[in-house]
Structure 1
Amino acid sequence: MTDETTGVPREQGIQWYDSEAGPLVRPYAMTGGRTKPGPTGIRFDLIALVTLSASASGADDDRALGPEHRALIELCRPETQSVAELAAGADLPVGVVRVLLGDLLERGHATVSRPVPPAQLPDERILREVIEGLRAL
């Protein structure tokens, strides 16, 4: 095979990798053109925590999972990771990671715990009063 622009012979498969840009696979190709995580419409916050479920050990035999899915599973094996950490560790856009996590969630390979909304957290003033009350005992 030769490069059409330069006429220089190129190796088979080299056209899918650019030494400066990395792999030339577009994000929509990794997600099959999907932009939302699954039919449930789950939205993953950047700080949502992803943990592998017990069925994740069977993920190696799941032929529907691609290499990106498997990379996310491997990143979660040692410890729970946030969506942002997974995106950084897998070197993938956050939108792609959200779609892939939706697939893993649907197949039962992962669980997601969402952070507590700030409105539901106790007021700092109340916590300080509790601490002062405990110290007074």
Structure 2
Amino acid sequence: MVRPYTITRGRTAPERDDFTLITVLTTREEPLDERGVPLRPGRLQPEHRAILARCRRPSAVAEVAAGLDLPVSVTKILLADLVGQGLLTARAPLTVARAAGGADRSTLAAVRDGLRRL
């Protein structure tokens, strides 16, 4: 068993604090730096490689943590490392209404009225 502080090299908080449990992460096909130059990632820990493999399909922070069997706080530190290196992209999840092009007000009113009748 490896202690979490060993995996994070003693860090207790991620460099960025905008990850929520439902933040969606995706491995970048060709990671680029700020200037658009392809990145050659340094030596990655096994946990970093496992995250990159899992995030080939969009995955939420909670899913990644569960798949690694690590605490969410440790997972967020590892994810921040990979986002900082340009190997992962992170975005807020799309809401159903936004994905569908916006909710119709009449549909929302009908749902509200139906819930009130319950």
Shorter-chain TM-score above 0.5: yes
1: CA distance, partners of 2:107 / 2:87 = 37
Aligned to 1:128: 108
Aligned to 2:5: 28
Q: Which runs of 4+ in 1 moved over 2 A?
A: 61-64, 122-131
Structure 1: give runs of 5+ residues left out of the alignment: 1-23, 132-137
Superposition pairs of residues 100-115 of structure 1, within 5 angstroms: 100-115=78-93
Aligned to 1:46: 21
Aligned to 1:70: 49
Report the 3-state secondary structure (helix = DSSP H, G, I; strand = E; otherwise coil) of the residue aligned with 2:19. Answer: coil
Structure 1 27/126 Cα, relative in aligned 2: closer, same or farther at 3 Å?
farther
Structure 2: give runs of 5+ residues left out of the alignment: 32-37, 96-101, 112-118
Superposed CA RMSD in Å reads 3.0
Superposition pairs of residues 82-101 of structure 1, within 5 angstroms: 82-101=60-79
Identity of aligned residues (%): 40
Question: Normalising by structure 2, what TM-score?
Answer: 0.69
CA contact (8 A) 2:41 2:85 kept: no
Question: Normalising by structure 1, what TM-score?
Answer: 0.60
**1:86: how far off?**
0.3
**Counterpart residue type for residue 128 of structure 1:** L
Equivalent pairs, count: 99
Cα deviations by residue, 1:59-101 (Å, 9 ceiling, x for unpaired)? 8x63332111001111112x10000000111111111110000
Structure with bigger gyration radius: 1
Structure 1 35/75 Cα, relative in aligned 2: closer, same or farther at 3 Å?
same
Higher relative contact order (CA 8 A, sep 6+): 2
